[in-house]
Amino acid sequence: MSISYWNRALNYRLKRRRALALTGTTAISSGLLWACGGDGSTGGLEDASSAQQPGKVWNATNDWKLADETKAAVRGGIYRGVMAADQAGNYDSQFQAPSQVPFSAHVHEFLMAKNRGPGIDPASLEAGNPLPGLAESFEISPDGMSATFTLRQGVKWHPIAPVNGRVMDMDDWRTSAERFLAISPQRVSLQGTVDHFEYPDARHMVWKFQFPYAPLLGVIWSERYAFQIVPKELNADQNLVGGVAIGTGYKILDKHQPSIAMEYRKHKDYWGGDPFIDRWHAPIIPEYANRYAQFVNGNIISFTPSAREVLQLAKDAPQTVIVANAISDGAITRLRFGRDNQKTLPWKDPRVRVAIRRAIDFKGIGEFLSNKQQFEAAGIPIEIVPMTHLPRHPSYWLDPEKGELGKLSDNYLFDVAEAKKLTTAAGFPNEIGIDYYVLPAGGVIPEVEQLITTSLGASGTFKVNVVRSANTVAHRDCRSLGHCDGLVESGNDVEADYVITADYYSKGNKSGEQAYPDPRIDAVAVAQRREMDPQKRIEYLKEFQRVVAELMPLVPYAHQYTELSFRWPWLHNVNRGEPPGNEIPEGRPISGGHLQWLDASMPNREKGAS
């Protein structure tokens, strides 16, 4: 795989972001650092003993071991975040996909929350039990055919007209559920499991299932399955629901200036308690180099650089904490096939679909993007793992690079010669033309997409036509609805059942049959979601992986790898709620973010970015 283009592009980007950084208030030493040192040294990053130790590497897998800092909290301050792209849609969170309404994760809440926090080991059984959210309790019947949610009393809506801070009631739940099932792009999973809802009294909602639904605990807090609670006034007025953002979350959307910024203020009457932080600001900065410079200048609290700029950023911002983020065991990314003409195009043959996977050097791309060679030369271990058709959960995931799928493991491994043999056997001895849809950020195609299309085209088996989507709406039209031909990347972080149902089960697609359904896939898809015995369900999930390894109805995407991010040591209780990221900590699915607080020594703590 040739990377000369990317070497040139990276050199330009390095120069650009340094020029921007030098115009700010923070002085930066001269000279560029390529990979492992501009002076030729390998350097090295030492382990941190705390989550706020500047210049050291904190392992985020240990977040749950951190002590609760709530008793030492200092009130006030403005959290300084960032957004790479503006919200494309209006404020109707039920009608649009989650990717189009990022505000919703700050404003709206679910009945239940994901169980994370101090003392909760993510690998423990305890972590698998959801926490109460807007429901103060949750009970599953012994036969698994119903679940009862009890309304949390005294929850106040945001003080915005026409709701004006009134107390949440069961009509809010009922109308939210009804509208979600009527119009939401995410409703298919819920429709496929719940028969109907019952409301025996003013405090209880009962879900009656079509069958005992085994994965419920792992999806009840997920935006890919559950519904956010929206005021009944908004649910009743189609015009109002798109024009105003009102929820129960600890943040209130205070100001949205398109293409400029989104700002939130605290919900002082939040049911979990008065939040410690007063405001959260997220300016919209599409350009990577500008975001880099703003972080160096302290105008953004957290930032994730490209792997090849980690050591440089450690020099540019020596007072920041370096965070080694854990590789997710729930993330799933894949290349979907469009559904406009899928039954007539060459990849209707599974051999051609397998050839696509074998023609892309995903492992090499992962090593390049992760900067594995240079990091390991500096004594920093980098883990790289393949993406397959299911999330990398240790209880059921089969690793093709370790041969855990038997001979079918080969279908995931890079081999240009074998890819060519497969397409020739399928009746296509010449290059196969294929469209590949991308969503540029700030006019620039994401680096991983550039590398994938370059690798696929360099195989000599496929001729790639890169199609630029005009915006997130157009990209979703291809990605989620399948209104295109060719390939498009899609990803989320969900339970295995959602992946199987949404991507493979013939009746699970949001807008019609899957591109390449199969009776064997359907059989195991149905069996795994109805199997209440955990060990038996694991065996079904393993069988599913063997079936799709043969048929390749979707193409698993890029390898995952250890990613290093940076943050200024100003945020406390980082294991409460969502962790800080390139934007601002969200309000769901992990509850408790209202307990995060800003250090008293934070520069411009009450004034915001300089």
Would you say 261 and 299 are in contact if contact means Cβ atoms under 8 Å apart? no
Q: What is the pLDDT, as a whole number, of residue 44?
A: 54
Query: Is 68's pLDDT higher than 90?
Result: yes
* 10-19, 260-269, 279-288, range with the lowest pLDDT: 10-19
pLDDT band at 34 (very low <50, low <70, confident <90, very high): very low
Q: What is the pLDDT, as a whole number, of residue 8?
A: 40
Q: What is the pLDDT, as a whole number, of residue 588?
A: 94
256 burial type by CB count under 10 A (0-12 exposed, 13-18 middle, 19+ buried): middle
The tokens 């009944």 sit on which residue? 232
Whether pTM > 0.85 for this model: the answer is: no
Q: What is the pLDDT, as a whole number, of residue 412?
A: 98
153 burial type by CB count under 10 A (0-12 exposed, 13-18 middle, 19+ buried): exposed
pLDDT band at 341 (very low <50, low <70, confident <90, very high): very high
What is the DSSP track for 137-194?
EEEE-TTSSEEEEEEPTTPBPPS-TTTTTPBP-HHHHHHHHHHHHHH-TTHHHHHTTE
Distance in angstroms (rounded) separating the CA atoms of residues 170 and 137: 14
User: Percent of the chain, pLDDT > 90?
Assistant: 72
Q: What is the pLDDT, as a whole number, of residue 45?
A: 66
Query: Is 462's pLDDT higher than 60?
Result: yes
Distance in angstroms (rounded) separating the CA atoms of residues 488 and 497: 21
Tell me the pLDDT tens digit for each residue of 178-236. 999 999 988 888 998 999 999 999 999 999 999 999 999 989 999 989 999 999 999 99
Domains of the chain: 4-80+258-266+274-324+562-598 (3.40.190), 98-251 (3.90.76.10), 331-560 (3.10.105.10)
pLDDT band at 610 (very low <50, low <70, confident <90, very high): low
Would you say 152 and 271 are in contact if contact means Cβ atoms under 8 Å apart? yes
Query: Is 158's pLDDT higher than 90?
Result: yes
Bigger pLDDT: 44 vs 107: 107
Q: What is the pLDDT, as a whole number, of residue 329?
A: 84
Tell me the pLDDT tens digit for each residue of 451-461. 999 999 999 99
Query: Is 502's pLDDT higher than 90?
Result: no
Distance in angstroms (rounded) separating the CA atoms of residues 290 and 12: 13
* 76-90, 443-457, 502-516, range with the lowest pLDDT: 502-516
Q: What is the pLDDT, as a whole number, of residue 175?
A: 98
* Mean pLDDT confidence for 540-551: 98
Tell me the pLDDT tens digit for each residue of 381-430. 888 999 999 999 888 999 999 999 999 999 999 999 999 999 999 999 99
